[in-house]
Amino acid sequence: MTDDFMFAPRRTYTVPLAHGGVLPLGERTLVMGILNITPDSFAEPKALDTGAAVDAALGMEAEGADLLDIGGESTRPGATPVSAVDELARVLPVVQALAGRLRIPISIDTYKASVARAAVAEGAAIVNDISGLRFDETLAGVVAETGAGLVLTHTRGRSGDMYAHATYADVIDEVGGELEESAQRALAAGVPTDRLILDPGIGFAKRAAHSYGVLARLHEIAARVDRPLLVGPSRKSFMSEALGGRRAVDRDWGTAAAVTAAVLGGAHIVRVHAVAEMVQVVRVAEEIRRNQDFRN
């Protein structure tokens, strides 16, 4: 290691949210807790009813989550699409029950404009679109109208065929470029730049080596796009071989390593299932960043 080795710098941003909220990003990496209201989540042992989901959300806030991401459709590779009616039936009662009770912002994990509109009306402040505005051309207009923050994720294809699109000449260059294209779609629909958060899409239309490469070179993507970065490696299958084929629910130690890499690489937000454990991981990784110039 050379004397001038430095962890990636992390720029600061202020992201306006729906309902007059503001999300300051960059001083430290924030932890986004995942709340899946689905019967087929790849990483959860069972589906949650509304009461259990509310308890889980309040528990994640108590464990140190800075944001909560609520989703009603699994977007794992091979997942079956869900109608907007079914998705709303799953997520809206939870958003309604949590609005006013949570002190942290609620994000709605959806690519459907109708779901986003209803969830923001009930209290969600951020829309987390895993399609990067590729699946529903009207979603950006809803975000512009409601004033929500918008997470745009890099992916290619749909859940059933995303791996067929996992071919890259230069994964960092192409992911960065395609994130910029998603940002341009948002801007063209009237979403201001300062509301955008970008996600390089760990595991989405990427083989394991691609996901590891994105984590290792996250700072290059950050420098190119000049927007805050959300990274979501939690329990994903790219770690499976390295962990000896462990099930998703048994990949939290691997997730801890990936989260550490994301923090050191300059991530502004990490999206995780095991909030209490990953809050500890993030706090220690942040101390490593802060003390990189320590001499005596």
Reading the block at residue 162, the tokens are 């995303």
Active site (catalytic) residues: 236, 271
C-alpha distance from residue 33 to each of 4, 57, 63, 193 (Å):
35, 8, 10, 24
Integer Rg of the chain from CA: 18
Distance CA 147, CA 18 (A): 5
Q: H or E element: which one contains 264?
A: helix 252-264
DSSP string, 205-259: S--HHHHHHHHHTHHHHHHHH-S-BEE--TT-GGGTTTTTS--GGG-HHHHHHHH
DSSP string, 196-210: EEEE--TTSS--HHH
Q: Are 32 and 272 in contact (CB under 8 A)?
A: yes
Distance CA 273, CA 166 (A): 25
Residue type, 44: E
150: left (phi over 0), alpha (psi -120 to 50) or beta: beta
Three-state DSSP at 25 gives strand
∠ CA 74-248-158 to the nearest 5 degrees? 30
Q: Are 111 and 130 in contact (CB under 8 A)?
A: yes
Beta strands 230-231 and 196-199: pairing type? unpaired
